[in-house]
Amino acid sequence: MRNRILIYGIFFVALVLGFWYFLFKDEDLSRSPLAVINANVPDFSFTNQDGKTVTGKEVDGKVYVANYFFTTCKGICPKMNANMRRVYDQYKQEPGFLILSHTCMPETDSVPLLKAYETKMIGGNLVRNDDGSYRLVTPDSPGKIVNSNWNFVTGDKTALYKMARQGYLIDNNKPDSVQNISDQFIHTQFFALVDKQHRLRGIYDGLKDNEVIKLMDDIKSLLKEKLDHPRFMNGFSIDPN
């Protein structure tokens, strides 16, 4: 009798475990709690600092951060990009991560200027100021630049601005519908975080230390997510529609 009860008990436990396995076998237990802000970040085609065409294929299956700047900016860009350098330093050895820094002045930021800017951003020494902010100090001889995953891109201005406004949602200024694209100007300090499935998962103020720290933590959580997860592909969208 005792052996029969033991056999029944083992069978019941196995049955329960099997039930739970089939119920949750497709669930990605490592998925990030970050909501999906935009489920369909558009495809793109831009040119980076090496003259290479960078498209949506470059970020397939990768987590990436996007921002906007211009090479002659003396206002928010130096502090913002010093903070982006912190992100780069944290994840430069991570093959599943990229940074896309888009110029908002493609009419002047040529490929050679972007290449020089890369040298400044990656070859510079990151220094922490007394107030806790960061700045980059470019040495006289920065030496050879080894850039693993930071792209500085230019391209068609309409396409660049469309990505900021409709893809990354980091420009709140709505231009006049009759305003020519050549007269428009995006100047934003926000960083956009995109997951492996081309979904916008976070927007961060690139001038605030606490938000940069959160961004770096959120990147880590997205890197752990599985690429394919059909059940929850759109399960975290905050779009009420």
Number of domains in the chain: 1
Q: Is residue 11 domain-resident?
A: no
Q: Is residue 5 domain-resident?
A: no
Specify whether the CB–CB gap between 117 and 71 falls below 8 A: yes
More confident of the two residues 9 and 223: 223
More confident of the two residues 173 and 112: 112
Question: Which is nearest to 189 in space by CA: 168, 175, 174, 167?
Answer: 168
Beta-strand runs (E) in the chain: 45-47, 53-55, 63-69, 97-103, 125-128, 134-137, 150-153, 190-194, 200-205
Mean pLDDT of 203-214: 96
Specify whether the CB–CB gap between 155 and 47 falls below 8 A: yes
Q: Is residue 3 domain-resident?
A: no
Q: Is residue 123 domain-resident?
A: yes
- Tell me, what CATH number does 215's domain have? 3.40.30.10
Question: Considering the entire predicted model, what is its pTM?
Answer: 0.79
Q: Is residue 19 domain-resident?
A: no
Q: Is residue 4 domain-resident?
A: no
The first and second tokens of residue 15, run together, are: 């049955």
Q: Is residue 18 domain-resident?
A: no
Check whether 231 has a pLDDT greater than 60: no
pLDDT value of residue 139: 85
Residue found under tokens 């502090």: 79
Boundaries of domain holding 103: 30-232
Check whether 100 has a pLDDT greater than 90: yes
pLDDT value of residue 12: 63
pLDDT value of residue 10: 72
Q: Is residue 85 domain-resident?
A: yes
